[in-house]
Amino acid sequence: GQNIDQPTEMTATEGAIVQINCTYQTSGFNGLFWYQQHAGEAPTFLSYNVLDGLEEKGRFSSFLSRSKGYSYLLLKELQMKDSASYLCAVQDSNYQLIWGAGTKLIIKP
């Protein structure tokens, strides 16, 4: 079957760094997406990885290891506005997105 695992909830301190992990088992792989979703709002695109390695985009970076079925999202210099859920999604062989349940990130002052 297809499975995406990520922690349910994480807590971090304003100004710190947090790493959100995602492991996956899917039928085929055409890339991995990270989305951010604030409470009561729609998901918005953060990053995309298809090759192994680190993609950096400002305070956010995303890493992929295809051989390990593993990705992480790294958030630096945390701000209160980063409090949100972070969704990991894998694009399978049919180009459909398979979604994890999301990680709720709580930022404390």
Nearer to other proteins, 70 or 99 (CB): 99
Positions in the binding site for other proteins (CB under 8 A): 4, 8, 30-31, 33, 41-45, 48, 50, 87, 89, 91, 95-102
Are 101 and 3 spatial neighbours (Cβ–Cβ below 8 Å)? no
Nearer to other proteins, 53 or 109 (CB): 53
> Cα separation of 64 and 70, whole Å?
6
| Least distance from other proteins to the Cβ atom of residue 32, Å | 11
| Least distance from other proteins to the Cβ atom of residue 13, Å | 26
Helix (H) or strand (E) holding 75: strand 70-75
CB-based contacts of 29, cutoff 8 Å, min separation 6: 66, 90, 91, 92, 93
Nearer to other proteins, 35 or 72 (CB): 35
| Least distance from other proteins to the Cβ atom of residue 107, Å | 21
Residue in 91, 93, 57, 95 with CA at minimum distance from that of residue 76: 57
| Least distance from other proteins to the Cβ atom of residue 19, Å | 20
